[in-house]
Amino acid sequence: MNPVTTPDPATVFVVEDDPSVRKALTRLFLAAGMHTVSCADGEEFFALHDPDVPGCLVLDLQLPGMDGAQVQQRLAAAGTVRPIVFLTGHADVDTSVRVMRAGAVNLLTKPATEAQLLGAVEEVVALDRAARQTRHAESADRERLQTLTPRERAVFDLVIQGMANKCIAVELDIVEKTVKVHRGRVMHKMGVRSIARLVQLADRLGLGNATSPQ
């Protein structure tokens, strides 16, 4: 029996300029079994941030220098996907709407309760894990796609369009038996057992023209 593996603890990046609040947040997340990296401002955060580490960002909206919204913008500009829980000392409607539209998962008004903070962080950590799993699966599928020969890729493209073996044979000027061989190799290399799964895979990769089997 294979041992059950548990995911690594999430890392919560805390960016808060108030030392007492930063210390309290760090203690809270450590007590909940999470790793923490605490930063006093945006520049320190970017110096310490590792986008490959699962977790989330708890980010004060009002920071000296680079404010929270600018930190969010810089992450987006770098193509970094990092779910954010914003903290704000006062409700600035325009800024709040802007950061939520830009992808923030939650915005809490200080002083937030421990339950609110832990609930918000647990939610975004779960979202981050799911998103990373999806990206990992997609990356693996793309690697498998690269193993197809040019002829196998041609068969793959026509199969996901819903073409029958006989029609593919005509399209590629090969015999139907050869199409069946190539199709079998395609499905083996792509790790699927049915045309329906192959179509779903193609759809996930955004290859277009994928047609669900009738």
Of the CA atoms within 13 Å of residue 200, those in its CB half-sphere come to 8
Give the model confidence (pLDDT) of 38-74 as tens digits.
999 999 999 999 988 999 999 999 898 999 999 999 9
Q: Which CATH class is domain 147-204?
A: mainly alpha
pLDDT at 8: 67
Taking residue 138's Cβ as centre, other Cβ atoms within 10 Å add up to: 14
Per the structure block, which two tokens stand in for 139? Answer: 């990356």
**Cβ 160 vs Cβ 211: under 8 Å:** yes
Pairing of the two strands 35-39 and 11-15: parallel
- CATH homologous superfamily of 11-137 equals Response regulator (3.40.50.2300)
- Which pLDDT band, with edges at 50, 70 and 90, does 208 fall under? low
pLDDT at 209: 59
- Which pLDDT band, with edges at 50, 70 and 90, does 3 fall under? very low
Q: State the amino acid at position 200 in one-letter form.
A: Q
pTM listed for this prediction: 0.67
Helices (H), 32-104: 42-48, 68-77, 93-101
**Cβ 213 vs Cβ 162: under 8 Å:** yes
* Domain positions in the chain: 11-137, 147-204
